[in-house]
Structure 1
């Protein structure tokens, strides 16, 4: 059984849906709760393969760029893969489980493969993307491609 990866590209209002804000917020909460339920059900079922988990992340937009801040505590930069396409950013990797003695009584931190994806509404300069990992927070800066500015064209004789 395949379960969806939790995608958090932004709120429902940011996608252009014209619902009143309280209704959109209720749907947002419902989607989050269903995602957590499906994720917890899949991680405990012995019949399914472990699914990728989505690390907590924020996506901010400025006039010049998109900024993704993704929480990845305990992960080395060599274990993270950042891919940026025309309209998408993807952050993936794997957090290996630490070998500990004894029987685990409670698990609150996810392990295994992770993936975060977000759709970007405008073209970006993928060759100018930068990423840094500081204090367990991965910051990816994705510059926007500059749209063509209107200019006056002189008609030749």
Structure 2
């Protein structure tokens, strides 16, 4: 393009938005996929359940320990299973159907529940123990021999 004086007009340059200049912008499409992956890997809720019990999964050098809050649940109503490195805890919490007076409101949870986790290393499934006391289920899962952490002293 030329002007009346014969000089060329400056070319228009496209302006990039600030977020397009970020080195992280190329990773943005992967963020949702990674979040989905981690939610599936450590999700306490499995499909088809009414609620997920609160709890904690801890790791030590020798074992994993799961503590789940399941007040009012009898041990006969809980199933614990291992498949590979996948831990699955399922159960049912029932409530009294009848009582004195008319039930107007409740905040108590009832129905089926589930907790599932994929452990990062192998577990000695023959040495797993579980106990239920004061409404807390404790599952202790010793790591398999090859998966135990070994501390190396520097000489």
TM-score, normalised on structure 2? 0.60
1:78 counterpart SS class: helix
Give the structure 2 partner of residue 5 of structure 1. Answer: none
Which has more radius of gyration? 2
Whether the 8 Å contact between 1:131 and 1:141 is mirrored in structure 2 is yes
Change (3 A) 1:100 1:148: closer
Quote the Cα distance in structure 1 between the aligned partners of 2:136 and 2:126. 22
Give the structure 2 partner of residue 99 of structure 1. Answer: 97
Deviations 1:106-144 (A, max 9, x none): 221111111111110101111110000011100000011
TM-score, normalised on structure 1? 0.59
Whether the 8 Å contact between 2:71 and 2:136 is mirrored in structure 1 is yes
**Structure 1 unaligned blocks of 5 or more:** 1-26, 36-49, 150-157
Question: By how many angstroms is 1:88 displaced?
Answer: 1.3
Give the structure 2 partner of residue 145 of structure 1. Answer: 144
1:109 counterpart SS class: coil
1:138 counterpart SS class: strand
Deviations 1:70-120 (A, max 9, x none): 011111111111112221111111111212344433221111111111110
List structure 1 runs of 4+ shifted beyond 2 angstroms: 100-107
Please report the RMSD computed on the Cα atoms of aligned residues, expressed in angstroms. 2.7
1:130 to 2:129 alignment: yes
Give the structure 2 partner of residue 70 of structure 1. Answer: 68
Whether the 8 Å contact between 1:73 and 1:135 is mirrored in structure 2 is yes
Whether the 8 Å contact between 1:85 and 1:126 is mirrored in structure 2 is no
